[in-house]
Amino acid sequence: MLCFKHTYAYESAKQFNKVFPMMKAAMAFLTAAGTTTNKNFENDIEYLTGYIRSSIKNQPLEKNDEMKEATLVSGKVKQVASFLALAFSPVQAMYQTIQGLW
């Protein structure tokens, strides 16, 4: 399992190294286009930065520690609620029993 994690990290790093220059080039293009056309693309650049942080680097988008703690607690509550909803669902119990018989 440990070997799989290292292999996955190595392969994903190779792919990210291909994507990051394109993302940086897109941000530079937006900055240059905004300067030449006198438009503001700060929201687009902020979105790209947030996307990189959340989806690729797996980092939280919250800036202060209180929001990070609130997000962590709400995530745990959501996880427990979905577990309880799936574990004690009569429809799922019936379906799983029938599925096990076949």
Query: What's the pTM?
Result: 0.50
Rounded to an integer, the average pLDDT of 29-47 is 87
Same domain, 45 and 8: yes
pLDDT of residue 52: 81
Rounded to an integer, the average pLDDT of 2-12 is 79
Same domain, 9 and 30: yes
Please state, in angstroms and rounded to a whole number, the distance separating the CA atoms of residues 46 and 96. Answer: 46
Name residues whose C-beta falls within 8 Å of residue 59's C-beta, 6 or more positions apart in sequence: 53
Residue 86 structural domain = 64-102
2: Cα separation from own chain's centroid: 22
Half-sphere exposure of 61 (CA within 13 A, CB side): 10
Rounded to an integer, the average pLDDT of 81-92 is 76
90: Cα separation from own chain's centroid: 32
Amino acid letter, 76: K
Rounded to an integer, the average pLDDT of 69-96 is 79
pLDDT of residue 21: 85
Number of domains in the chain: 2
